[in-house]
Structure 1
Amino acid sequence: MKVLVLLLVVCSLQASLACMCAWETPQQKFCRADFAIRGRVISTSPQGQMSIKYLVRVTEIYKGADLMPAQDVEILTASFDSLCGIPGLQVNTEYLLTGHKSQGDLTISICNWIEKYDDLTSSTRQSLTAVNCDDTV
């Protein structure tokens, strides 16, 4: 009986620590973001046990040009999806990345719009240069 109670407590604790994001459309995620870029992951490296640093070569800036210090930028995320991190970006793959500037660092999370660029439809790709953030709720 004690084992069952302990198991229930542990399961409840894990569920309460899971990442939760409000549901948003891609346009809302884009508009809420500090930056939106098309970029190719050049490398990935752990930053301790809790975060990952991606080195990303920026190929196009849709939003936040003032936040991009160079063609190659470092973007941080949590190491675990349960902490809202994006641990699975692949080296040599191009992505649409939206995110925030937090304490001087560029950051991404599962609450942002992160998608392989090749998976975007042609109409979505074209609309990225003309997103109207005045119409978002």
Structure 2
Amino acid sequence: MSWTANSFFVTLAILFLWRVEEIAEACSCSPVHPQQAFCNSDVVIRAKVVGVQLVDVGNDIYGNPIQRIKYDIKQIKMFKGTTNVIDAIYTAPSSAVCGVTLENNGKEYLITGKLEADGTMHITLCDFIEPWEAMSATQKKSLTQRYEMGCDCKITRCTSIPCMISGPAECLWTDWVIEKTVNGGQAKDFACIKRSDDSCAWYRGAAQPKRDFLDIEDP
């Protein structure tokens, strides 16, 4: 094989690996606490899929069709969003570009997502999407009573020790360094709530807060 041929295949291999790396990095999301996902989302609903199809939603700048997966859903409850009932959710057709796979078998989900200008709801792998049965009792209750109270707070994820907050309006999320999972005790059982002095602190449980803050300054 000639040097030119070798160069061609080396170049082709580099381009291929570059493309694989590009696709792999195309969907990169930092884990977020369920409360942060709630606060950052336009729409938060409990729903189940009743149908799925691949649809064209327009064309790109080159005239190629843009496809999306359309999930027809039955909305069970809306925790945040619009006064209109959401009956369909759209996502990209591949996980490489952050597309989400939902099961069409009656399973109920808690779904957070963005509301487009035309009123359609879109979701990606960066959104918080969890089977309803997998959520803790505190998480379910916090969707209506707790999370919104802390949307002015900032939840800072600790990825390695030492870590700290930069101000009183932050809560330090330590599940990863303590439990080696982002679905640990603070994600399942705590909400970051703003107090009367505008500082924020972790609060455990779903009842009305009294003095049960996870704060070493409180007795």
TM-score range, shorter chain: 0.7 to 0.9
Indicate the structure with greater helix content.
1
Say how many residue pairs are matched.
133
Who is 2:33 aligned against?
25
Q: 1:119 aligns with which of 131, 134, 138?
A: 134
TM-score (norm 1): 0.86
Larger CA Rg, structure 1 vs 2:
2
Matching of residue 90 in structure 1 with residue 103 in structure 2? yes
Uncovered stretches (5+) of structure 1, i.e. residues with no partner: none
Q: Tell me: higher relative CO, structure 1 or 2? Use CA pairs within 8 A at least 6 residues apart.
A: 1
CA distances 1:44-100 after superposition (whole Å, capped 9, x unpaired): 11114731001111111111133xx23x511100010111110x2011210000000
Cross-structure match for 2:153: 135
Q: Which residue of 1 aligns with 2:195?
A: none
Q: Which runs of 4+ in 1 moved over 3 A?
A: none
Scaled by the length of structure 2, the TM-score of the pair is 0.56
Tell me, yes or no, if structure 1 residue 15 matches structure 2 residue 15.
Answer: no
TM-aligned CA deviation for residue 101 of structure 1 = 1.0
Secondary structure of 2:28 counterpart: coil
Which blocks of at least 5 consecutive residues in structure 2 are unaligned? Answer: 1-5, 57-65, 156-219
Quick one: distance in 1 between partners of 2:152 and 2:138?
20
The alignment partner of 2:127 has SS state of coil
